[in-house]
Structure 1
Amino acid sequence: MFKDPIQWLMIVVGGLIYSIGLNAFLIANHLAEGGFVGISVLLLYIFHLPVGVTFFILNIPLLVVAWRIFGHEFVIKTTAGVLCVSIFSEVTKFIAVPTHDQLLAALYAGVVTGIGLGLIFRTGATTGGADIIARILRHYRGMAMGRTLFAIDLIVICVVIIIIGKQVAMYSLVALFVSSRVIDFMIEGAQNGKAVTIISDKHMAIVEEIHKQLERGTTLIQATGGYTGTDRQVVYCVVGREEVVRVQRIVHEIDPLAFVTISNVHEISGEGFTFGDDPRRKKGLLRSR
Protein backbone atom coordinates (compact mmCIF):
# COMPACT_ATOMS: atom_id res chain seq x y z
CA MET A 1 0.00 0.00 0.00
CA PHE A 2 1.22 3.51 0.71
CA LYS A 3 4.31 3.42 2.88
CA ASP A 4 4.76 7.17 2.55
CA PRO A 5 2.06 9.23 4.32
CA ILE A 6 2.86 12.10 1.98
CA GLN A 7 1.15 10.13 -0.79
CA TRP A 8 -2.07 10.02 1.21
CA LEU A 9 -1.74 13.77 1.76
CA MET A 10 -1.26 14.28 -1.99
CA ILE A 11 -4.51 12.42 -2.69
CA VAL A 12 -6.40 14.57 -0.21
CA VAL A 13 -4.90 17.84 -1.44
CA GLY A 14 -5.36 16.77 -5.06
CA GLY A 15 -9.02 15.95 -4.45
CA LEU A 16 -9.52 19.33 -2.77
CA ILE A 17 -7.86 21.29 -5.59
CA TYR A 18 -9.77 19.36 -8.26
CA SER A 19 -13.08 19.99 -6.49
CA ILE A 20 -12.35 23.70 -6.20
CA GLY A 21 -11.66 23.88 -9.92
CA LEU A 22 -14.82 21.91 -10.63
CA ASN A 23 -17.10 24.12 -8.55
CA ALA A 24 -15.41 27.50 -8.91
CA PHE A 25 -14.92 27.50 -12.67
CA LEU A 26 -16.81 24.66 -14.39
CA ILE A 27 -20.10 24.49 -12.51
CA ALA A 28 -20.15 28.22 -11.66
CA ASN A 29 -19.98 29.00 -15.39
CA HIS A 30 -22.29 26.19 -16.48
CA LEU A 31 -19.55 24.22 -18.22
CA ALA A 32 -19.24 20.45 -18.41
CA GLU A 33 -16.58 17.85 -17.65
CA GLY A 34 -15.65 14.49 -19.10
CA GLY A 35 -16.01 11.01 -17.63
CA PHE A 36 -18.16 10.16 -14.64
CA VAL A 37 -17.73 13.61 -13.14
CA GLY A 38 -19.16 14.97 -16.37
CA ILE A 39 -22.18 12.67 -16.03
CA SER A 40 -22.63 13.83 -12.44
CA VAL A 41 -22.45 17.49 -13.53
CA LEU A 42 -25.09 16.88 -16.22
CA LEU A 43 -27.37 15.25 -13.63
CA LEU A 44 -26.85 18.33 -11.46
CA TYR A 45 -27.94 20.63 -14.28
CA ILE A 46 -30.96 18.51 -15.23
CA PHE A 47 -32.23 17.05 -11.94
CA HIS A 48 -30.31 19.16 -9.37
CA LEU A 49 -28.67 16.05 -7.91
CA PRO A 50 -25.54 16.73 -5.80
CA VAL A 51 -22.39 16.01 -7.78
CA GLY A 52 -20.48 14.35 -4.94
CA VAL A 53 -23.26 11.94 -4.05
CA THR A 54 -23.98 11.03 -7.68
CA PHE A 55 -20.31 10.51 -8.46
CA PHE A 56 -19.84 8.19 -5.47
CA ILE A 57 -22.96 6.13 -6.26
CA LEU A 58 -21.91 5.70 -9.89
CA ASN A 59 -18.53 4.37 -8.77
CA ILE A 60 -19.81 1.78 -6.27
CA PRO A 61 -20.56 -1.05 -8.76
CA LEU A 62 -17.31 -0.35 -10.61
CA LEU A 63 -15.29 -0.55 -7.40
CA VAL A 64 -16.91 -3.91 -6.58
CA VAL A 65 -16.04 -5.31 -10.01
CA ALA A 66 -12.53 -3.88 -9.81
CA TRP A 67 -12.00 -5.55 -6.40
CA ARG A 68 -12.68 -8.95 -7.93
CA ILE A 69 -10.48 -8.35 -10.98
CA PHE A 70 -7.57 -6.23 -9.79
CA GLY A 71 -7.40 -6.89 -6.06
CA HIS A 72 -7.62 -4.79 -2.93
CA GLU A 73 -4.58 -2.53 -3.36
CA PHE A 74 -5.80 -0.87 -6.54
CA VAL A 75 -9.35 -0.54 -5.19
CA ILE A 76 -8.27 1.00 -1.88
CA LYS A 77 -6.17 3.61 -3.62
CA THR A 78 -8.92 4.34 -6.13
CA THR A 79 -11.57 4.49 -3.41
CA ALA A 80 -9.45 7.11 -1.63
CA GLY A 81 -9.46 9.24 -4.79
CA VAL A 82 -13.20 8.74 -5.31
CA LEU A 83 -14.02 9.65 -1.70
CA CYS A 84 -11.89 12.78 -1.78
CA VAL A 85 -13.54 14.06 -4.96
CA SER A 86 -17.02 13.11 -3.70
CA ILE A 87 -16.61 14.77 -0.31
CA PHE A 88 -14.74 17.87 -1.39
CA SER A 89 -17.03 18.54 -4.35
CA GLU A 90 -19.83 18.97 -1.79
CA VAL A 91 -17.73 20.82 0.78
CA THR A 92 -16.49 23.36 -1.77
CA LYS A 93 -19.70 23.89 -3.75
CA PHE A 94 -20.12 27.33 -2.18
CA ILE A 95 -16.96 28.45 -4.01
CA ALA A 96 -17.91 30.08 -7.30
CA VAL A 97 -16.06 32.37 -9.67
CA PRO A 98 -18.64 33.27 -12.33
CA THR A 99 -17.43 35.17 -15.37
CA HIS A 100 -18.93 36.43 -18.60
CA ASP A 101 -16.00 34.94 -20.52
CA GLN A 102 -16.55 31.17 -20.66
CA LEU A 103 -13.27 30.66 -22.50
CA LEU A 104 -11.37 32.21 -19.60
CA ALA A 105 -13.36 30.05 -17.19
CA ALA A 106 -12.47 26.95 -19.22
CA LEU A 107 -8.77 27.82 -19.14
CA TYR A 108 -8.79 28.38 -15.38
CA ALA A 109 -10.80 25.19 -14.87
CA GLY A 110 -8.35 23.17 -16.97
CA VAL A 111 -5.35 24.41 -15.03
CA VAL A 112 -6.83 23.93 -11.55
CA THR A 113 -8.45 20.54 -12.18
CA GLY A 114 -5.31 19.38 -13.97
CA ILE A 115 -3.17 20.22 -10.95
CA GLY A 116 -5.54 18.34 -8.66
CA LEU A 117 -5.72 15.24 -10.81
CA GLY A 118 -1.99 15.36 -11.44
CA LEU A 119 -1.29 15.18 -7.71
CA ILE A 120 -3.61 12.19 -7.36
CA PHE A 121 -2.19 10.36 -10.37
CA ARG A 122 1.39 10.86 -9.19
CA THR A 123 0.63 8.61 -6.20
CA GLY A 124 -0.64 5.81 -8.44
CA ALA A 125 -4.23 6.45 -7.36
CA THR A 126 -7.11 7.37 -9.67
CA THR A 127 -10.54 8.93 -9.33
CA GLY A 128 -12.34 5.80 -10.54
CA GLY A 129 -15.15 6.06 -13.06
CA ALA A 130 -13.95 5.92 -16.64
CA ASP A 131 -10.50 4.81 -15.54
CA ILE A 132 -11.91 1.61 -14.02
CA ILE A 133 -13.94 0.88 -17.16
CA ALA A 134 -10.85 1.41 -19.30
CA ARG A 135 -8.83 -0.98 -17.14
CA ILE A 136 -11.56 -3.63 -17.26
CA LEU A 137 -11.84 -3.43 -21.06
CA ARG A 138 -8.06 -3.64 -21.38
CA HIS A 139 -8.05 -6.68 -19.08
CA TYR A 140 -10.74 -8.60 -20.98
CA ARG A 141 -10.61 -7.17 -24.51
CA GLY A 142 -7.08 -5.82 -24.77
CA MET A 143 -8.41 -2.38 -25.67
CA ALA A 144 -6.05 0.57 -25.21
CA MET A 145 -6.97 2.63 -22.14
CA GLY A 146 -6.39 5.93 -23.93
CA ARG A 147 -8.96 5.08 -26.61
CA THR A 148 -11.51 3.99 -24.06
CA LEU A 149 -11.10 7.13 -21.96
CA PHE A 150 -11.34 9.29 -25.07
CA ALA A 151 -14.49 7.46 -26.20
CA ILE A 152 -16.19 7.97 -22.83
CA ASP A 153 -15.29 11.67 -22.78
CA LEU A 154 -16.55 12.00 -26.36
CA ILE A 155 -19.88 10.38 -25.46
CA VAL A 156 -20.33 12.75 -22.51
CA ILE A 157 -19.47 15.79 -24.65
CA CYS A 158 -21.96 14.65 -27.33
CA VAL A 159 -24.65 14.50 -24.65
CA VAL A 160 -23.63 18.00 -23.57
CA ILE A 161 -24.13 19.21 -27.17
CA ILE A 162 -27.63 17.75 -27.21
CA ILE A 163 -28.71 18.95 -23.76
CA ILE A 164 -26.84 22.22 -23.23
CA GLY A 165 -25.49 23.33 -26.58
CA LYS A 166 -22.49 23.40 -28.89
CA GLN A 167 -20.84 26.45 -27.31
CA VAL A 168 -20.72 24.91 -23.84
CA ALA A 169 -19.41 21.67 -25.32
CA MET A 170 -16.65 23.54 -27.15
CA TYR A 171 -15.48 25.38 -24.05
CA SER A 172 -15.70 22.15 -22.05
CA LEU A 173 -13.39 20.52 -24.59
CA VAL A 174 -10.94 23.39 -24.08
CA ALA A 175 -11.00 22.74 -20.33
CA LEU A 176 -10.44 19.00 -20.91
CA PHE A 177 -7.50 19.67 -23.23
CA VAL A 178 -5.81 22.11 -20.86
CA SER A 179 -6.40 19.76 -17.94
CA SER A 180 -4.79 16.85 -19.82
CA ARG A 181 -1.70 18.94 -20.61
CA VAL A 182 -1.36 20.06 -16.99
CA ILE A 183 -1.74 16.45 -15.82
CA ASP A 184 1.07 15.43 -18.19
CA PHE A 185 3.24 18.21 -16.78
CA MET A 186 2.48 17.17 -13.20
CA ILE A 187 3.28 13.51 -13.90
CA GLU A 188 6.27 13.95 -16.19
CA GLY A 189 7.78 16.75 -14.15
CA ALA A 190 9.26 20.13 -14.92
CA GLN A 191 12.66 18.68 -15.78
CA ASN A 192 12.05 18.33 -19.49
CA GLY A 193 14.89 18.32 -21.96
CA LYS A 194 16.15 16.95 -25.25
CA ALA A 195 18.01 13.74 -25.99
CA VAL A 196 20.50 14.14 -28.82
CA THR A 197 21.84 11.12 -30.72
CA ILE A 198 24.81 11.75 -32.99
CA ILE A 199 26.42 9.38 -35.50
CA SER A 200 29.71 10.71 -36.81
CA ASP A 201 33.21 9.54 -37.70
CA LYS A 202 34.46 12.50 -35.67
CA HIS A 203 32.56 11.54 -32.53
CA MET A 204 35.44 12.09 -30.10
CA ALA A 205 35.94 15.69 -31.26
CA ILE A 206 32.21 16.30 -30.86
CA VAL A 207 32.22 14.75 -27.37
CA GLU A 208 35.15 16.91 -26.28
CA GLU A 209 33.45 20.10 -27.44
CA ILE A 210 30.17 19.19 -25.72
CA HIS A 211 32.08 18.59 -22.49
CA LYS A 212 34.04 21.80 -22.90
CA GLN A 213 31.33 24.20 -24.05
CA LEU A 214 28.20 22.82 -22.36
CA GLU A 215 29.69 20.86 -19.43
CA ARG A 216 27.22 18.10 -20.21
CA GLY A 217 27.96 14.41 -19.91
CA THR A 218 27.88 12.14 -22.93
CA THR A 219 27.61 8.40 -23.47
CA LEU A 220 29.28 6.45 -26.24
CA ILE A 221 27.24 3.52 -27.51
CA GLN A 222 28.79 0.79 -29.62
CA ALA A 223 26.74 0.25 -32.77
CA THR A 224 26.98 -1.46 -36.14
CA GLY A 225 25.70 0.00 -39.40
CA GLY A 226 22.88 -2.15 -40.73
CA TYR A 227 23.75 -1.52 -44.39
CA THR A 228 27.56 -1.27 -44.31
CA GLY A 229 28.25 -3.51 -41.31
CA THR A 230 30.74 -0.91 -40.08
CA ASP A 231 31.30 -0.54 -36.34
CA ARG A 232 30.56 2.95 -35.07
CA GLN A 233 30.44 4.91 -31.83
CA VAL A 234 27.09 6.65 -31.31
CA VAL A 235 27.10 9.74 -29.07
CA TYR A 236 24.13 10.08 -26.73
CA CYS A 237 23.63 13.28 -24.74
CA VAL A 238 20.76 14.84 -22.77
CA VAL A 239 20.68 18.63 -22.68
CA GLY A 240 18.32 21.41 -21.71
CA ARG A 241 15.94 22.67 -24.37
CA GLU A 242 17.80 25.94 -24.67
CA GLU A 243 21.07 24.07 -25.34
CA VAL A 244 19.91 22.12 -28.39
CA VAL A 245 20.95 24.84 -30.83
CA ARG A 246 24.43 24.94 -29.30
CA VAL A 247 24.81 21.17 -29.72
CA GLN A 248 23.67 21.42 -33.34
CA ARG A 249 26.19 24.18 -33.96
CA ILE A 250 29.02 22.13 -32.43
CA VAL A 251 28.17 19.09 -34.55
CA HIS A 252 27.82 21.13 -37.75
CA GLU A 253 31.17 22.88 -37.24
CA ILE A 254 33.02 19.60 -36.65
CA ASP A 255 31.18 17.28 -39.04
CA PRO A 256 28.52 18.79 -41.35
CA LEU A 257 27.70 15.27 -42.59
CA ALA A 258 26.92 13.87 -39.13
CA PHE A 259 23.56 12.16 -38.62
CA VAL A 260 21.69 13.78 -35.71
CA THR A 261 18.33 12.97 -34.11
CA ILE A 262 16.66 14.97 -31.33
CA SER A 263 13.83 13.70 -29.15
CA ASN A 264 11.93 14.86 -26.08
CA VAL A 265 12.73 13.43 -22.65
CA HIS A 266 10.84 13.89 -19.40
CA GLU A 267 11.45 13.58 -15.66
CA ILE A 268 15.20 14.07 -15.85
CA SER A 269 17.17 13.49 -12.68
CA GLY A 270 20.87 13.28 -12.03
CA GLU A 271 24.05 15.25 -12.30
CA GLY A 272 23.64 18.51 -14.15
CA PHE A 273 19.85 18.56 -13.87
CA THR A 274 18.74 17.97 -10.27
CA PHE A 275 21.91 17.95 -8.20
CA GLY A 276 22.59 21.63 -8.73
CA ASP A 277 26.03 22.98 -7.89
CA ASP A 278 27.31 19.90 -6.11
CA PRO A 279 30.39 20.87 -4.04
CA ARG A 280 32.13 17.73 -5.31
CA ARG A 281 31.98 19.16 -8.83
CA LYS A 282 33.78 22.30 -7.71
CA LYS A 283 36.51 20.14 -6.21
CA GLY A 284 36.82 18.17 -9.43
CA LEU A 285 35.41 14.97 -7.93
CA LEU A 286 32.54 14.82 -10.39
CA ARG A 287 33.40 14.65 -14.06
CA SER A 288 31.31 14.42 -17.19
CA ARG A 289 30.70 10.84 -18.20
Structure 2
Amino acid sequence: MKHFLKDIIFIIIGALFYALAVNMLIIPNNFADGGLTGMSILLHYVFGWSTGIVNFILAAIILAIGYTVLPKRNIILTTITATLISLFLYITENNIEPLADPLVSAIFAGFFSGIGAGLIFRTGSSMGGTSVIARMFHHNLGWDLTRTNFVLDAAVVLAGLFFIGTLNTMYTIILLFIGKKATDLVMEGLDPRKAVSVISTHATEITDVVINNLDTSATVFKGYGGYMKQDADMSYIIISKYQLMRLKRLIYSVDEKAFVVIHDVRDVTGGSFAWEKKRGRK
Protein backbone atom coordinates (compact mmCIF):
# COMPACT_ATOMS: atom_id res chain seq x y z
CA MET A 1 0.00 0.00 0.00
CA LYS A 2 2.86 2.34 0.89
CA HIS A 3 4.51 1.80 -2.50
CA PHE A 4 1.20 2.27 -4.30
CA LEU A 5 0.63 5.65 -2.60
CA LYS A 6 4.16 6.70 -3.54
CA ASP A 7 3.44 5.72 -7.15
CA ILE A 8 0.25 7.78 -7.13
CA ILE A 9 2.14 10.84 -5.88
CA PHE A 10 4.73 10.41 -8.64
CA ILE A 11 1.95 10.05 -11.23
CA ILE A 12 0.17 13.20 -10.00
CA ILE A 13 3.35 15.29 -10.13
CA GLY A 14 4.39 13.79 -13.48
CA ALA A 15 0.97 14.33 -15.06
CA LEU A 16 0.93 17.96 -13.88
CA PHE A 17 4.41 18.65 -15.27
CA TYR A 18 3.45 17.06 -18.57
CA ALA A 19 0.15 18.93 -18.89
CA LEU A 20 1.75 22.30 -18.08
CA ALA A 21 4.45 21.68 -20.69
CA VAL A 22 1.76 20.99 -23.28
CA ASN A 23 -0.50 23.94 -22.48
CA MET A 24 2.18 26.55 -21.67
CA LEU A 25 4.90 25.71 -24.19
CA ILE A 26 3.88 23.17 -26.84
CA ILE A 27 0.46 24.42 -27.97
CA PRO A 28 1.23 28.20 -27.75
CA ASN A 29 4.26 27.67 -30.00
CA ASN A 30 2.37 25.42 -32.43
CA PHE A 31 4.56 22.37 -31.79
CA ALA A 32 3.47 18.74 -31.98
CA ASP A 33 4.18 15.77 -29.73
CA GLY A 34 4.24 11.99 -29.95
CA GLY A 35 1.78 9.48 -28.60
CA LEU A 36 -1.83 9.96 -27.57
CA THR A 37 -1.34 13.56 -26.46
CA GLY A 38 0.24 14.32 -29.81
CA MET A 39 -2.93 13.10 -31.54
CA SER A 40 -5.03 15.26 -29.21
CA ILE A 41 -2.87 18.29 -29.98
CA LEU A 42 -3.20 17.82 -33.74
CA LEU A 43 -6.99 17.50 -33.42
CA HIS A 44 -6.94 20.71 -31.38
CA TYR A 45 -5.09 22.50 -34.18
CA VAL A 46 -7.49 21.23 -36.86
CA PHE A 47 -10.88 21.46 -35.10
CA GLY A 48 -10.19 23.57 -32.00
CA TRP A 49 -11.24 20.71 -29.71
CA SER A 50 -10.14 20.59 -26.08
CA THR A 51 -6.96 18.53 -25.74
CA GLY A 52 -8.03 17.36 -22.27
CA ILE A 53 -11.40 16.05 -23.38
CA VAL A 54 -10.07 14.48 -26.60
CA ASN A 55 -7.17 12.87 -24.73
CA PHE A 56 -9.56 11.34 -22.18
CA ILE A 57 -11.90 9.94 -24.87
CA LEU A 58 -9.06 8.45 -26.93
CA ALA A 59 -7.40 6.97 -23.83
CA ALA A 60 -10.68 5.44 -22.68
CA ILE A 61 -11.23 3.80 -26.07
CA ILE A 62 -7.67 2.44 -26.29
CA LEU A 63 -7.66 1.12 -22.72
CA ALA A 64 -11.08 -0.49 -23.17
CA ILE A 65 -9.80 -2.35 -26.22
CA GLY A 66 -6.36 -3.25 -24.88
CA TYR A 67 -6.95 -3.97 -21.18
CA THR A 68 -6.70 -7.74 -21.77
CA VAL A 69 -3.06 -7.52 -22.88
CA LEU A 70 -1.82 -5.43 -19.96
CA PRO A 71 -0.94 -6.65 -16.45
CA LYS A 72 -3.58 -5.73 -13.87
CA ARG A 73 -1.34 -3.34 -11.92
CA ASN A 74 -0.21 -1.64 -15.12
CA ILE A 75 -3.77 -1.16 -16.38
CA ILE A 76 -4.79 0.41 -13.04
CA LEU A 77 -1.85 2.81 -13.01
CA THR A 78 -2.23 3.62 -16.72
CA THR A 79 -5.93 4.39 -16.24
CA ILE A 80 -5.09 6.73 -13.36
CA THR A 81 -2.30 8.34 -15.40
CA ALA A 82 -4.41 8.92 -18.52
CA THR A 83 -7.25 10.36 -16.40
CA LEU A 84 -4.95 12.74 -14.52
CA ILE A 85 -3.16 13.91 -17.67
CA SER A 86 -6.53 14.60 -19.32
CA LEU A 87 -7.80 16.41 -16.21
CA PHE A 88 -4.71 18.60 -15.90
CA LEU A 89 -4.77 19.33 -19.63
CA TYR A 90 -8.38 20.44 -19.29
CA ILE A 91 -8.04 22.64 -16.20
CA THR A 92 -4.84 24.35 -17.41
CA GLU A 93 -6.12 25.16 -20.88
CA ASN A 94 -5.59 28.84 -21.57
CA ASN A 95 -4.65 31.21 -24.36
CA ILE A 96 -1.00 31.79 -23.51
CA GLU A 97 1.25 33.91 -25.67
CA PRO A 98 4.22 32.03 -27.15
CA LEU A 99 7.75 32.92 -26.08
CA ALA A 100 9.75 35.09 -28.46
CA ASP A 101 12.29 32.30 -29.03
CA PRO A 102 10.74 29.02 -30.30
CA LEU A 103 14.02 27.12 -29.82
CA VAL A 104 14.08 27.94 -26.09
CA SER A 105 10.41 26.95 -25.92
CA ALA A 106 11.15 23.60 -27.57
CA ILE A 107 14.05 22.89 -25.20
CA PHE A 108 12.08 23.65 -22.04
CA ALA A 109 8.94 21.94 -23.34
CA GLY A 110 11.00 18.81 -23.87
CA PHE A 111 12.66 19.14 -20.47
CA PHE A 112 9.46 19.54 -18.45
CA SER A 113 7.44 16.99 -20.42
CA GLY A 114 10.37 14.55 -20.14
CA ILE A 115 10.57 15.05 -16.37
CA GLY A 116 6.83 14.39 -16.13
CA ALA A 117 7.01 11.28 -18.30
CA GLY A 118 10.00 10.00 -16.34
CA LEU A 119 8.15 10.28 -13.03
CA ILE A 120 5.22 8.39 -14.56
CA PHE A 121 7.38 5.65 -16.08
CA ARG A 122 9.21 5.12 -12.77
CA THR A 123 5.98 3.79 -11.30
CA GLY A 124 5.59 1.14 -14.02
CA SER A 125 2.71 3.06 -15.60
CA SER A 126 2.48 4.34 -19.17
CA MET A 127 0.92 7.34 -20.88
CA GLY A 128 -1.98 5.16 -22.04
CA GLY A 129 -1.62 5.72 -25.77
CA THR A 130 0.68 4.32 -28.41
CA SER A 131 2.42 2.03 -25.90
CA VAL A 132 -0.89 0.22 -25.31
CA ILE A 133 -1.55 -0.02 -29.06
CA ALA A 134 1.98 -1.36 -29.61
CA ARG A 135 1.41 -3.97 -26.90
CA MET A 136 -1.83 -5.05 -28.60
CA PHE A 137 -0.02 -5.51 -31.94
CA HIS A 138 2.72 -7.42 -30.15
CA HIS A 139 0.21 -9.67 -28.37
CA ASN A 140 -1.98 -10.39 -31.41
CA LEU A 141 0.45 -10.19 -34.34
CA GLY A 142 3.84 -10.76 -32.74
CA TRP A 143 5.19 -7.36 -33.82
CA ASP A 144 8.28 -6.03 -32.05
CA LEU A 145 7.12 -3.89 -29.12
CA THR A 146 9.81 -1.20 -29.22
CA ARG A 147 9.83 -0.75 -32.97
CA THR A 148 6.04 -0.65 -33.20
CA ASN A 149 5.87 1.99 -30.48
CA PHE A 150 8.54 4.07 -32.27
CA VAL A 151 6.73 3.82 -35.61
CA LEU A 152 3.42 4.89 -34.07
CA ASP A 153 4.99 7.89 -32.32
CA ALA A 154 6.90 8.83 -35.48
CA ALA A 155 3.68 8.64 -37.52
CA VAL A 156 1.96 11.08 -35.16
CA VAL A 157 4.87 13.52 -35.32
CA LEU A 158 5.18 13.30 -39.11
CA ALA A 159 1.44 13.89 -39.44
CA GLY A 160 2.14 17.27 -37.88
CA LEU A 161 3.93 18.29 -41.08
CA PHE A 162 0.51 18.86 -42.69
CA PHE A 163 -0.75 21.08 -39.84
CA ILE A 164 2.23 22.90 -38.27
CA GLY A 165 4.69 23.02 -41.16
CA THR A 166 8.26 21.83 -41.62
CA LEU A 167 9.98 24.30 -39.29
CA ASN A 168 7.76 23.59 -36.28
CA THR A 169 8.08 19.86 -36.95
CA MET A 170 11.84 20.30 -36.69
CA TYR A 171 11.38 22.11 -33.39
CA THR A 172 9.19 19.20 -32.30
CA ILE A 173 12.01 16.75 -33.03
CA ILE A 174 14.31 18.85 -30.81
CA LEU A 175 11.58 18.83 -28.15
CA LEU A 176 11.30 15.05 -28.28
CA PHE A 177 15.07 14.57 -28.12
CA ILE A 178 15.37 16.77 -25.02
CA GLY A 179 12.34 15.01 -23.55
CA LYS A 180 13.99 11.60 -24.02
CA LYS A 181 17.13 12.79 -22.25
CA ALA A 182 15.11 14.29 -19.39
CA THR A 183 13.13 11.06 -19.02
CA ASP A 184 16.38 9.07 -18.90
CA LEU A 185 17.67 11.45 -16.24
CA VAL A 186 14.66 10.78 -14.02
CA MET A 187 14.71 7.03 -14.69
CA GLU A 188 18.44 6.55 -14.15
CA GLY A 189 19.16 9.26 -11.57
CA LEU A 190 21.95 11.80 -11.33
CA ASP A 191 24.58 9.23 -10.37
CA PRO A 192 24.50 6.44 -12.97
CA ARG A 193 26.59 3.39 -12.15
CA LYS A 194 29.07 1.49 -14.27
CA ALA A 195 29.52 -2.27 -14.31
CA VAL A 196 33.15 -3.24 -14.79
CA SER A 197 34.19 -6.78 -15.76
CA VAL A 198 37.89 -7.49 -15.26
CA ILE A 199 39.35 -10.71 -16.65
CA SER A 200 42.72 -11.43 -15.13
CA THR A 201 44.88 -14.14 -13.61
CA HIS A 202 45.14 -11.76 -10.63
CA ALA A 203 41.40 -11.28 -10.16
CA THR A 204 41.50 -11.98 -6.41
CA GLU A 205 44.25 -9.40 -5.81
CA ILE A 206 42.39 -6.84 -7.92
CA THR A 207 39.24 -7.42 -5.88
CA ASP A 208 41.11 -6.91 -2.61
CA VAL A 209 42.66 -3.67 -3.85
CA VAL A 210 39.29 -2.34 -5.03
CA ILE A 211 37.56 -3.17 -1.74
CA ASN A 212 40.32 -1.55 0.32
CA ASN A 213 40.68 1.61 -1.76
CA LEU A 214 37.23 2.37 -3.15
CA ASP A 215 35.00 1.23 -0.28
CA THR A 216 32.83 -0.87 -2.56
CA SER A 217 32.25 -4.56 -3.09
CA ALA A 218 33.38 -6.85 -5.89
CA THR A 219 32.64 -10.40 -6.93
CA VAL A 220 35.08 -12.95 -8.38
CA PHE A 221 33.85 -15.54 -10.87
CA LYS A 222 35.94 -18.58 -11.72
CA GLY A 223 36.71 -18.75 -15.43
CA TYR A 224 38.86 -20.20 -18.16
CA GLY A 225 40.38 -18.31 -21.07
CA GLY A 226 39.46 -19.98 -24.35
CA TYR A 227 42.22 -18.23 -26.31
CA MET A 228 45.09 -18.53 -23.81
CA LYS A 229 43.93 -21.98 -22.62
CA GLN A 230 44.50 -21.14 -18.97
CA ASP A 231 42.53 -20.15 -15.88
CA ALA A 232 41.48 -16.48 -15.96
CA ASP A 233 39.03 -15.41 -13.27
CA MET A 234 36.71 -12.43 -13.64
CA SER A 235 36.10 -9.64 -11.12
CA TYR A 236 32.69 -7.97 -11.41
CA ILE A 237 32.48 -4.48 -9.90
CA ILE A 238 29.65 -1.91 -9.76
CA ILE A 239 30.93 1.60 -9.28
CA SER A 240 30.02 5.27 -9.70
CA LYS A 241 31.15 6.75 -13.01
CA TYR A 242 33.11 9.39 -11.07
CA GLN A 243 35.34 6.65 -9.64
CA LEU A 244 35.95 4.96 -12.96
CA MET A 245 39.36 6.44 -13.79
CA ARG A 246 40.67 5.66 -10.31
CA LEU A 247 39.38 2.11 -10.60
CA LYS A 248 41.20 1.58 -13.89
CA ARG A 249 44.45 2.84 -12.37
CA LEU A 250 44.04 0.41 -9.47
CA ILE A 251 43.35 -2.50 -11.84
CA TYR A 252 46.39 -1.84 -14.00
CA SER A 253 48.60 -1.30 -10.95
CA VAL A 254 47.95 -4.98 -10.13
CA ASP A 255 47.83 -6.41 -13.65
CA GLU A 256 48.76 -4.22 -16.60
CA LYS A 257 47.53 -6.94 -18.98
CA ALA A 258 44.04 -7.19 -17.46
CA PHE A 259 41.13 -7.26 -19.90
CA VAL A 260 38.58 -4.63 -18.80
CA VAL A 261 35.02 -4.25 -20.12
CA ILE A 262 32.82 -1.37 -18.94
CA HIS A 263 29.00 -1.37 -19.20
CA ASP A 264 26.34 1.22 -18.42
CA VAL A 265 23.99 0.21 -15.61
CA ARG A 266 20.42 1.50 -15.49
CA ASP A 267 19.65 0.63 -11.88
CA VAL A 268 21.36 -0.89 -8.85
CA THR A 269 19.60 -2.11 -5.70
CA GLY A 270 20.55 -4.24 -2.74
CA GLY A 271 23.97 -5.59 -1.78
CA SER A 272 26.64 -3.15 -0.70
CA PHE A 273 24.71 -0.26 -2.28
CA ALA A 274 21.81 -0.68 0.11
CA TRP A 275 24.36 -0.58 2.94
CA GLU A 276 25.98 2.55 1.47
CA LYS A 277 22.61 4.35 1.35
CA LYS A 278 21.87 3.43 4.96
CA ARG A 279 25.24 4.63 6.06
CA GLY A 280 24.78 7.87 4.13
CA ARG A 281 21.56 8.63 6.06
CA LYS A 282 23.22 8.25 9.45
Cross-structure match for 1:35: 35
Deviation, 1:193, is 1.4
Pairing 1:56–2:56 present: yes
Q: Kindly indicate whether the alpha-carbon contact (under 8 Å) linking 2:121 and 2:187 is maintained by their aligned counterparts in 1.
A: yes
Measured against aligned partners, the alpha-carbon deviations of 1:94-147 in whole angstroms (never above 9, x if no partner) come to 384621211111111111111111122222222211111011011112222221
Measured against aligned partners, the alpha-carbon deviations of 1:193-243 in whole angstroms (never above 9, x if no partner) come to 111111112223322322232222111111222345533321111111121
Measured against aligned partners, the alpha-carbon deviations of 1:22-42 in whole angstroms (never above 9, x if no partner) come to 111111211111112111111
Q: Kindly indicate whether the alpha-carbon contact (under 8 Å) linking 2:12 and 2:84 is maintained by their aligned counterparts in 1.
A: yes
Q: Kindly indicate whether the alpha-carbon contact (under 8 Å) linking 2:51 and 2:90 is maintained by their aligned counterparts in 1.
A: yes
Whole-angstrom CA distance in 2 between matches of 1:227 and 1:47: 67
Whole-angstrom CA distance in 1 between matches of 2:206 and 2:261: 15
Cross-structure match for 2:103: 103
What secondary structure does 2:276 align onto? coil
Cross-structure match for 1:198: 198
Q: Which deviates more, 48-57 or 88-97?
A: 88-97
Q: Kindly indicate whether the alpha-carbon contact (under 8 Å) linking 2:201 and 2:231 is maintained by their aligned counterparts in 1.
A: no
Deviation, 1:253, is 2.6
Measured against aligned partners, the alpha-carbon deviations of 1:73-101 in whole angstroms (never above 9, x if no partner) come to 44332211111111100111238462121
Cross-structure match for 1:45: 45
TM normalised by structure 1 equals 0.88
What secondary structure does 1:278 align onto? helix
Whole-angstrom CA distance in 1 between matches of 2:199 and 2:193: 20
Cross-structure match for 2:216: 216
RMSD (Å) for aligned C-alpha atoms = 2.4
| Structure 1 residue ranges (4+ consecutive) displaced by more than 4 angstroms after TM superposition | none
Q: Kindly indicate whether the alpha-carbon contact (under 8 Å) linking 2:102 and 2:171 is maintained by their aligned counterparts in 1.
A: yes
Do the aligned partners of residues 275 and 12 (structure 1) sit closer, same or farther apart at CA in structure 2, a change above 3 Å counting? same
Whole-angstrom CA distance in 2 between matches of 1:199 and 1:71: 41
Pairwise mapping of residues 152-167 of structure 1 onto structure 2 (< 5 A)?
152-167=152-167
TM normalised by structure 2 equals 0.90
Q: Kindly indicate whether the alpha-carbon contact (under 8 Å) linking 1:20 and 1:95 is maintained by their aligned counterparts in 2.
A: no
Percent identity (aligned): 31
Deviation, 1:2, is 8.4
Task: Count matched residues.
Answer: 280
Q: Which has the higher helix share?
A: 2
Pairwise mapping of residues 115-194 of structure 1 onto structure 2 (< 5 A)?
115-194=115-194
Do the aligned partners of residues 72 and 240 (structure 1) sit closer, same or farther apart at CA in structure 2, a change above 3 Å counting? closer
**Contiguous gaps of at least 5 residues in structure 1:** 282-289
AA aligned to 1:278 is R
Pairing 1:275–2:276 present: yes
Q: Kindly indicate whether the alpha-carbon contact (under 8 Å) linking 2:31 and 2:164 is maintained by their aligned counterparts in 1.
A: no
